[in-house]
Structure 1
């Protein structure tokens, strides 16, 4: 089953009696990107959608584990129950586009044991382009019964990421200038994990934020030496958010990959770990 749903498909599903639960995860990395996720939700969201906070509920507190480490499973469970999610619920997550936060939610919810999770391809921007309705009404769904079962997806730590970089394919999803160490706007050290391959996640999407088709993604990854039959594949970014977007693109291309959740922001907390800039 596809991990993506188009705006037109979602509109049709929401018109049916057994419609999916919609979760809003609008989010911004910094204040320079405009209003925060909660403010965006208050201003406009899909009908029936409950907001879940990426920083507080889809990640743990920043620290030695990186800027967006694994969340407490109990926190994820409480957030999903608040949204009305049961174990067998179908869930669609979305952000304002181009689905960076939604991809992180897709990964976290599946890691926590939820089976049926999809991302609205293109996010709110695609929904509005399709003529989809929005609201400012905040729903109060009946509490769900979802129970978190963490560990349902593979997770890499720093040692496992280093091993994949030498024996498999470790993909760095950040912009090329950060990978090369020419600039580093967020973390204290510039560069990348030695042996990693750079595949900026921004190149996985069309200008409107929707993902490229599966064939084009396979061609892109193959040209970078990232293939389904070439051993283990791992992905990292700055803090494990845009890397989830890369994982979603790889998934669409038919390539299984594991997430290094701590990513570069964890890697550089240990000065003994090597750093490459070439």
Structure 2
């Protein structure tokens, strides 16, 4: 892919652009095709050529073929601008085809030939006119139904969070909760997690911070072995009891948690595949 030229246009390039535009109009070529030819000939970007041609038309309108001197009836010097006559034709043709029960795409195909414009440009203009003048259209498209996003069961179910003393769970989703929105469950979960963290921040008289973290881990994931206890102690020494407890309470909210569980499940199945 070659890099296109940038910077100011030379006088020679301006003369070549004006000549190619007029020649294209005379042979009945479409504007987009003319601009593509100029872009390829001068090795400049299409958008830059289109902008520069518009600038040259404003500076030297007498040097470009127009409706009066082009030799073709109905030819107008415009670049991507829409006249009122064209917009009226678009609205009339769309209403005509829709009243006859024909598709919008067939109306656009017909307008492509009448207006010498691309179907994409015509469709975009119809969209704009419908938004600006809805009363001028006999039929408007039916609004698309907005369906509530259906979440999977695992996306809204929250884990059971128990008190640190092992008593009844602080939050237990029920069958009715599964039909609530994910935002409501998230709010409830955050409130309960905050309450547990605040409770952990004021430890009971008979439990140290380290013991409370160990107890919380045991309630959520089972009794830790000696290696796990030593690992937890090292983490608390490195990051502090509060950060470890917060990470422990919010671990299941981590997006990587399901992947960790599936890897552990795979390892467990491999170890017991002969059973």
Classify the TM-score, shorter chain. under 0.3
User: What is the TM-score when the length of structure 2 is the normalising length?
Assistant: 0.16
- Name the structure with the higher helix share: 2
- Name the structure with the higher strand share: 1
Which one has more relative contact order, counting CA pairs under 8 Å at least 6 apart?
1
